[in-house]
C-alpha cells in the first residue's frame, strides 16, 4: 500500500516539486520514497512495505528502463501472472507484485488491468513513446485523482498533493455542493476542486501529446444462474470466500482483522484465522459493539483489542479527519474508522475488513423495500406521480416518504444508499441553488443498462457505481492510510463478484431479510444469532451529542460563520439545529451533512 504522484510538462525545480507532492501524502507510505524525473515528466512514490520488504522499492523499471512504474495497492494473483510472464520470456529482478505490472504491460499492453486480481491504482510512463498509462481497480478500492488542464496531466492518490504543484489552481467547485447534500459524499467523476476528477473504478487512462483518453475496461454485470439450488450457492459462497481471504492474507507482515457486531466482519475474521481483531466502542451502550466483539473473539480464539472513543476526542479529531478525506464526507462512521485504524496500526500493518458484502450479496435494508406494499407499483405511474408531488408538500407526515419514493420507477428515483435532501429541501437551505444538475442525472448513464433487471438488482447495480466508491471505499482508504495501515477487503474481489453476480435475487433479499444465502454460508462458521443480525452499519451517537450544548455550540458557531454565509441561508441552518435540540424533529443527519462540509471547507479554503 502506498501513495503515488506525478505530472507531465515542463516545470521548474521538477525534483523539488514532485518531492513536495509526495511529502503531502507521506502518511500513505512512511517506509520509503522514490522519484523519477525525465524530460516532460516526474513520478513520485511513498512506500508502505508489505510484500518483498527489501526489493519492492519504487519507481520500478523494466529491463531496458524504458517503462517506469508507480503503483498503489496489491495484486493477489501475482504469483500466477509471474509464472505466465516468465513462460513468455520475461525476466524478473524482484519478488514484488509490482514488477508483474511492468512485464504485464510489455506483454498485454492496455489489456493489463483485465488480468489483475487485486486492488490497485498505478501509472506507467513509456519513455520512448512519451505516454502515460494508468488504471484503477474494478470496484474503485484504491483512489486515483487527475487534473488534465492546459495540455498537462497531474495525478495523485490524494488531491492534497496537487496543492504543491506551481501550476495547480485551487478553486472551489460550488456546483458539487447540492449533489453532496443529497448523497452525503462527493458523487460522480467531478470533485469539490475545479478541474480535478476521479478516475472511476474499472477505468483506464492514456495520456499522450496533451490528449487524454479514458475508457472502461470492466463493467459489473448481474446474470442470474437459475440452475443451482440454494445449498449449492451456499457451498459456492463458502468456497469463494475461503479462497479470497487466503489470497488477501498474502503479506510479509502480520495481518489482523476488524470486527464489528455484524455478519460481514465476523465471517471474514473467523475464516481468516488471524491472531488479532480490532473494534471501537462508545460509552453509550446503545452504540457500543465492543462487548459483542470481545465475546466473538473469545469464541474464535483470538485476541480482541477494543478502543473506546470519547465524545471529546471524536469532536476534536473532525478537522483532521475531513482533511484526510480530501472531500467532505458526512458519514459519521468515517470518524469511528479513523480511531479504529489508528489503534490497529499500533500493532499490525495490514487489516482485513468486510466492505462490499452488502453491494455484492444484497445486504442493505432498503433492498427489502420492493417487497413491501408491492401492489402499489401496479398503480398507474401518472397517479403515483401526482400523489408523490402532493406528498412533497407534507414531507413530515407519516407515509409521505413512501409516496414520494414510489412516485417514479426505481431507476429514476434511486440514486444510491442515501438520498438525504430533496431538491426542494436544498432550495430552502442554499443561497445559490440553480437545480442545474441533480443526483438523478448521475444515474442516467446507467438506466438503459438496468432494463430487464428486477428492483433489487437495479439498486445493487446503482450502489456499485455510486455509494460503494463514493462513501464506503472513500472512508475505508482515507482513514486507513491516515494511520499508514493497509486495509484489505476480501468481499471486493473479482472472483467473489463473479459468483455473487450469478446468484438469483430470491437468494439475496426478500421482504424478511437480506444477504440470505451469504448469511447461511456464514452460519457454518459463526453463531446463528450473529449471522442473522440486522445490519446496523457503524453506529455513532451523533444524534444524542447534537442535543448537548457543548457540541451544539460548536455546530452553531460553524452555521453562523462568514464562510457558511457564502453558501447557505444561515437562519435556516440554525433553525434545523434548534428543532433538533428541542426534539421537535430529528434533523441530525442533515445537520451533520452541512457541518461536515463546513469543517472540510475551513480546512482547505479558509485556513491560512
Catalytic residues: 2
SS3 62: coil
CA 202 to chain CA mean position, Å: 14
The closest of 476, 494, 472 to 244, measured between CA atoms, is 494
574 Cα distance to chain centroid: 31
Angle CA(500)–CA(505)–CA(511) in degrees, nearest 5?
130
Instruction: For residue 524, give the nearest of 310, 206, 234, 155 by alpha carbon.
Output: 234
Reduced to 3 states, what is the DSSP secondary structure of residue 459? helix
Cell numbers of 383, please?
Answer: 397517479
Strand partners, 305: 278
Q: What's 193's DSSP letter? A: B
Nearest 10 degrees: Cα torsion 386, 387, 388, 390: 90
Q: Which segments of 170-210 does DSSP mark as H helices, in order? A: 176-183
Distance separating alpha carbons of residues 487 and 467, to the nearest angstrom = 19
Tell me the C-alpha distance between 482 and 334, whole Å. Answer: 12
DSSP class of residue 514? B
Q: At what angle do helices 439-447 and 176-183 cross, to 10 degrees?
A: 80
The angle, 0 to 180 degrees and rounded to 10, between the axes of the packed helices 263-272 and 230-248 is 60
Amino acid at each position: 500500500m502506498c501513495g503515488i504522484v506525478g505530472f507531465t510538462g515542463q516545470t521548474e525545480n521538477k525534483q523539488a516539486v514532485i518531492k513536495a507532492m509526495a511529502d503531502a501524502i507521506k502518511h500513505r507510505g512512511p517506509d520509503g520514497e522514490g522519484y523519477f524525473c525525465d524530460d516532460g515528466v516526474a513520478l513520485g512514490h511513498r512506500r508502505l512495505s508489505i510484500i518483498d520488504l527489501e526489493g519492492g522499492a519504487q519507481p520500478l523499471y523494466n529491463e531496458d528502463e524504458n517503462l517506469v512504474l508507480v503503483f498503489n495497492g496489491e495484486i493477489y494473483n501475482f504469483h500466477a501472472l509471474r509464472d505466465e510472464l516468465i513462460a513468455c520470456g520475461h525476466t524478473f529482478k524482484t519478488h514484488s507484485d509490482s514488477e508483474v505490472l511492468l512485464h504485464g504491460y510489455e506483454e498485454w499492453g492496455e489489456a493489463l488491468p483485465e488480468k489483475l486480481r487485486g486492488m490497485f491504482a498505478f501509472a506507467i510512463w513509456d519513455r520512448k513513446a512519451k505516454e502515460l498509462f494508468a488504471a484503477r481497480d474494478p470496484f474503485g478500492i484504491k483512489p486515483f485523482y487527475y487534473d488534465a488542464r492546459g495540455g498537462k496531466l497531474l495525478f495523485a492518490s490524494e488531491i492534497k498533493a496537487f496543492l504543491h504543484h506551481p501550476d495547480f489552481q485551487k478553486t472551489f467547485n460550488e456546483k458539487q455542493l447540492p449533489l453532496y447534500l443529497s448523497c452525503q459524499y462527493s458523487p460522480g467523476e467531478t470533485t469539490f476542486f475545479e478541474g480535478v476528477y476521479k478516475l472511476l473504478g474499472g477505468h483506464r487512462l492514456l495520456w499522450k501529446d496533451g490528449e487524454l483518453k479514458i475508457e472502461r475496461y470492466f463493467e459489473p454485470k448481474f446474470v442470474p444462474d437459475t440452475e443451482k439450488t440454494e445449498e449449492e450457492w451456499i457451498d459456492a459462497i463458502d468456497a469463494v470466500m475461503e479462497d479470497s481471504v487466503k489470497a488477501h492474507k498474502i503479506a510479509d507482515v502480520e495481518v489482523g482483522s476488524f470486527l464489528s457486531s455484524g455478519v460481514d466482519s465476523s465471517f471474514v475474521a473467523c475464516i481468516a484465522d488471524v491472531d488479532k481483531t480490532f473494534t471501537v466502542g462508545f460509552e453509550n451502550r446503545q452504540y457500543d459493539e465492543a462487548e459483542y466483539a470481545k465475546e466473538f473473539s473469545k469464541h474464535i480464539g483470538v485476541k480482541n483489542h477494543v478502543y473506546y472513543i470519547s465524545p471529546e476526542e471524536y469532536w476534536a479529531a473532525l478537522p483532521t479527519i475531513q482533511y484526510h478525506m480530501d472531500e467532505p464526507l458526512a458519514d459519521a462512521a468515517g470518524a469511528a474508522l479513523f480511531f479504529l485504524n489508528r489503534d490497529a496500526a499500533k500493532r499490525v500493518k495490514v487489516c482485513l475488513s468486510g466492505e462490499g458484502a452488502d453491494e455484492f450479496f444484497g445486504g442493505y435494508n432498503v433492498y427489502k423495500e420492493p417487497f413491501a406494499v408491492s401492489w402499489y407499483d401496479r398503480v398507474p405511474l401518472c397517479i403515483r406521480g401526482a400523489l408523490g408531488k402532493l406528498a412533497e408538500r407534507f414531507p413530515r407526515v407519516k407515509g409521505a416518504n413512501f409516496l414520494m419514493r414510489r412516485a417514479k420507477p426505481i431507476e429514476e428515483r434511486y440514486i444510491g444508499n442515501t438520498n438525504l435532501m430533496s431538491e426542494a429541501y436544498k432550495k430552502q437551505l442554499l443561497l445559490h441553488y440553480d437545480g442545474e444538475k441533480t443526483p438523478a442525472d448521475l444515474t442516467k448513464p446507467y438506466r438503459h443498462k438496468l432494463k430487464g433487471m428486477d428492483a433489487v438488482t437495479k439498486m445493487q447495480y446503482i450502489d456499485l457505481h455510486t455509494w460503494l466508491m463514493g462513501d464506503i471505499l472513500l472512508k475505508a482508504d482515507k482513514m486507513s492510510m491516515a494511520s499508514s495501515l493497509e486495509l484489505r477487503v476480501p468481499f471486493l474481489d473479482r472472483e467473489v463478484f463473479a459468483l455473487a453476480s450469478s446468484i438469483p435475487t430470491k437468494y439475496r433479499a426478500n421482504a424478511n431479510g437480506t444477504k440470505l444465502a451469504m448469511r447461511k454460508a456464514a452460519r457454518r462458521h459463526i453463531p446463528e444469532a450473529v449471522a442473522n443480525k440486522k445490519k446496523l452499519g457503524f453506529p455513532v451517537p451523533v444524534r444524542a451529542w447534537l442535543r448537548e450544548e457543548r457540541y451544539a455550540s460548536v455546530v452553531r458557531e460553524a452555521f453562523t460563520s462568514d464562510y457558511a454565509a457564502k453558501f447557505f441561508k444561515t437562519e435556516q441552518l440554525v433553525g434545523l439545529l434548534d428543532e433538533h435540540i428541542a426534539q421537535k424533529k430529528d434533523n441530525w443527519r442533515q445537520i451533520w451533512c452541512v457541518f461536515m462540509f463546513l469543517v472540510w471547507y475551513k480546512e482547505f479554503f479558509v485556513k491560512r
